Amino acid sequence: MTQPIDFLLSRSSMKLVTAPAPNDDDLARILQAAMAAPDHGSLQPWRFKIIRGEAIGKFADFSIGLRQQSDTPFTPEKEAATRAWLSEVPMIIAVACHIDYGNTAISETERMLATGAAVTNILNAAYMLGYGAFWSTGIATYIDEFQSGLGFDSLDYRFLGFIAIGTPRMAIPQKKRPDYTQFISEWTEPVDV
């Protein structure tokens, strides 16, 4: 029997997804998992926009159109590949962190970390429920008009990209992950500097 820890150990992103999108019950559980992220001061800084159905085509036109007008337009091949990818994606969750100007006690960095942790919970929950999910900061993520056009005005939000989510188009690969010991050392006393 698969244990919860086995899901965490085997999770991988899956960019290539198709319909069906998560049903309402599954979407509710995936988004509720985001609410269980660690969150200093319970500021709940995360904000999500659900984009699905015909809105996906509008998202594609809007994001690719802005990218093509930018200083770094896609090549025709990259544009075609991006359109082909998005034409299959049944649901997008756009992500932003709310800037709370009134709160100086808990830094923006900490609020961004809480939002990132919320996205990680979404990715894990989607995987546990059998969906594919992929976090992207591509296309027009760093173009101001894109953020504001999604409803995340840059005065009030840090836009953190979008999650494509749906049914995996192929088996989710079991990736070989690095051995954790490469990243760990023991601390016993202050380091001499």
Q: At a CB cut-off of 8 Å and minimum separation 6, what does 11 contact?
A: 123, 124, 127
Nearest to 162 by CA among 44, 17, 36: 17
Decide whether 149 or 161 has the Cβ nearer to ligand FMN. 161
Q: Please work out the total of residues on this chain that contact ligand FMN, with binding judged by CB under 6 A.
A: 9
Among 68, 87, 107, 137, binds ligand FMN (CB under 6 A): 137
Could you write out the DSSP letters of every residue in 54-102?
HHHHHHHHHHHHHHHHSSSPPPHHHHHHHHHHHHH--EEEEEEEE--TT
Q: Are 127 and 62 in contact (CB under 8 A)?
A: no
Is residue 138 part of the contact set for ligand FMN (CB under 6 A)? yes
| Interaction pattern, residues 96-135, with ligand FMN; x per rule: CB under 6 A | --------------------------------------xx
User: Quick one: which segment of 1-9, 60-68, 101-109, 136-144 binds ligand FMN (CB under 6 A)?
Assistant: 136-144
Is residue 162 part of the contact set for ligand FMN (CB under 6 A)? no
Decide whether 99 or 113 has the Cβ nearer to ligand FMN. 113
Is residue 10 part of the contact set for ligand FMN (CB under 6 A)? no
Measured in whole angstroms, the distance separating CA 66 from the mean position of its chain's CA atoms is 20
Q: How far apart are CA 162 and CA 92, in angstroms?
A: 6
Task: Report helix, strand or coil for 37.
Answer: coil
Give me the residues that bind ligand FMN (CB under 6 A), please.
12-13, 134-138, 161, 175
Which residues participate in the annotated binding site?
A: 11-13, 40, 135-137
